[in-house]
Chain A
């Protein structure tokens, strides 16, 4: 009776590998039409940029079936580390490269091209039953979220004279997310400086549920989450000194929704760009990022900026237009135009 056991195992393994192999064939079966490009393109980096990269990779793989684009998710910081080690060809970044990351790239002889691909905006939201708060100034947001507010600012009446006596319940991004980094930098003035007595989660759905069920709630997260839950939330306009502005495609692009909008980037290794499949992929990325970014919930760059970025790629202009200073609050389209000036200068 002993062989029975071995047969059970062999049978299990055989079924598993057969299943795997069988699917394998059907997967590669459609691959012998058009496109002579082949190879693997390794993409990694920010989880914020990931949905765009994933969409671009999906479309690119359809057009070039022999090319295998893979997209990883190790965060902007982790991504830059791998990028500086030459382990990946392209990384997504939710902020410009930092000085030390730039230095590491230089040290390892890695040159890069910085390419903005979309805009991301953060939404500040309250419960739909909240009738008193239509807009908040940046100073009021700071008063609510700064570390000194912990245990002190607990009621809406403390936020602005005239707000009712209603308990203030806060929901925000978890401390590991890029959203948290950017929000604290933009509102409090220092990255990662935040009060700790709020419900923080990496899972934005939990935040949406929390705000939609608590009358005195206030929360912040990516605009896409608001757009997918408009019936449960009320959007708050942000007043940055020039009157209240609500986040939308228009206000983000014309730079009036500040400071809670930021550009997203990809960084491309110049050496990898010599491979035809990578060059084609990056070109494809720039051309399609606008449309695909909108599809996955971000704001696409306007055509004139895309044209500028494309030129930058063709002329192989390396380095960061942001001086490799990391997260900068209030980066507007004007800054992207400065990309062009910078490129003109370095071309001369």
Chain B
């Protein structure tokens, strides 16, 4: 076998195969990147001219050149804050409980399976759930808070899973050390485990929140509006968000609205890239400080 494998012909053939595979791989990457580059270039060309201060400080309008994204931007920011306020405590709390306190039995396994499954549910289903539970049953109406509750549900599975992964990376020796010094389990979690796990928890949180910022379908279902004349002033206010505003503009016949949509997409892209960059930055920065 070894003799056969080391014949020059065999080696030459394998080298050709490898080269072929590399070529195919490179072509696939090139194709994906070219498509992305074409899309980005088109969006930038279409929308860049519209990116002026008025675009950020105006309300939507039937005249494309007067229309702006102010309520959408503010709505997205509020929605993000409210969603974070709801989803982070519940998500991290659930992860800490499952990872640090709960006993492994059929019940926790059931919960785990459900959380994993929920992460794969299409977002529009969360919208229908939110419409029935928050908007109708809990009478929240088409408000920011109803939107934030729905988006929190959407973000929770990802946050819980990411937070649990983070907690799992904390070495057992740290916990044992803390417990050996007489700390209670709560003290161990609070002062030893969580501080070490926070960078990766935070990464998961930011990534799932950036998904929230880009979501359209569930918000359309629960009734985010597409035109609004005032900014939301309380959690009970009607609201709109960036993706909904962009979606609305793309369906208009006038070309000027397509330019607005492109400009809106640039703003959304920058926002998402910033959030993802922040996640990477936090991870890199705090991972180096591990006390081990």
Query: A residues within 8 Å of B by Cβ?
Result: 1-2, 5, 8, 12-13, 16-17, 19-20, 23-24, 26-28, 40, 42, 44, 47, 50-51, 53-55, 57-58, 61, 65, 67-74, 82, 85, 87, 202-205, 222, 224-225, 227-228, 292, 295-297
Q: Are B253 and A204 in contact (CB under 8 A)?
A: yes
Known contacts A16-B81, A27-B230; A74 and B238 CB within 8 A of each other: no
Q: Are A54 and B258 in contact (CB under 8 A)?
A: no
Q: Are B238 and A68 in contact (CB under 8 A)?
A: yes
Q: Offer 14 A-B interface pairs, CB within 8 angstroms, sorted by A.
A: A23-B70, A23-B231, A26-B57, A61-B229, A69-B227, A69-B229, A70-B228, A72-B223, A72-B224, A73-B226, A227-B253, A228-B253, A228-B255, A297-B254
- Which of the segments B2-10, B37-45, B244-252 contacts the partner chain? B244-252
Q: Are A73 and B286 in contact (CB under 8 A)?
A: no
Considering only CB atoms, which chain B residue lies closest to A226 in the complex? Answer: B253
Query: B residues within 8 Å of A by Cβ?
Result: 57, 59-62, 70, 74, 77-78, 80-81, 135-136, 141-142, 195, 198, 202, 220, 223-231, 233, 238, 248, 250-255, 258, 278, 282, 286, 289
Q: Are A70 and B227 in contact (CB under 8 A)?
A: yes
Bound Cα distance from A36 to B248, whole angstroms: 31
| Contact partner, A225, options B226, B253, B282, Cβ 8 Å | B253
Q: Given A2-B195, A58-B61, A65-B229, 9 other A-B contacts at CB below 8 A?
A: A16-B81, A24-B231, A51-B252, A54-B227, A68-B238, A70-B227, A72-B142, A205-B258, A297-B254
Bound Cα distance from A95 to B61, whole angstroms: 25
Q: Are B223 and A222 in contact (CB under 8 A)?
A: no
Chain A residues lying within 8 Å of B286, measured Cβ to Cβ, are 5
Known contacts A224-B253, A228-B255, A296-B62; A71 and B227 CB within 8 A of each other: yes
Chain A residues lying within 8 Å of B254, measured Cβ to Cβ, are 224, 228, 297
Q: Are A54 and B81 in contact (CB under 8 A)?
A: no
Number of A-B contacts (CB under 8 A): 114
Q: Are B77 and A72 in contact (CB under 8 A)?
A: no
| Contact partner, A68, options B80, B142, B229, Cβ 8 Å | B229
Bound Cα distance from A85 to B136, whole angstroms: 10
Chain A residues lying within 8 Å of B258, measured Cβ to Cβ, are 205
Q: Are A5 and B229 in contact (CB under 8 A)?
A: no
Q: Are B238 and A58 in contact (CB under 8 A)?
A: no
B178 to chain A, nearest CB (A): 16
Q: Are A70 and B225 in contact (CB under 8 A)?
A: yes
Q: Are B229 and A295 in contact (CB under 8 A)?
A: no
Considering only CB atoms, which chain B residue lies closest to A225 in the complex? Answer: B253
Known contacts A16-B77, A203-B251; A58 and B62 CB within 8 A of each other: yes
| Contact partner, B62, options A1, A16, A47, A295, Cβ 8 Å | A295
Chain A residues lying within 8 Å of B74, measured Cβ to Cβ, are 19-20, 23-24
Q: Are A292 and B62 in contact (CB under 8 A)?
A: yes
Chain B residues lying within 8 Å of A228, measured Cβ to Cβ, are 253-255
Bound Cα distance from A67 to B238, whole angstroms: 13
Bound Cα distance from A23 to B56, whole angstroms: 10
Q: Are A20 and B253 in contact (CB under 8 A)?
A: no
A335 to chain B, nearest CB (A): 27
Chain B residues lying within 8 Å of A82, measured Cβ to Cβ, are 223
Bound Cα distance from A222 to B252, whole angstroms: 11
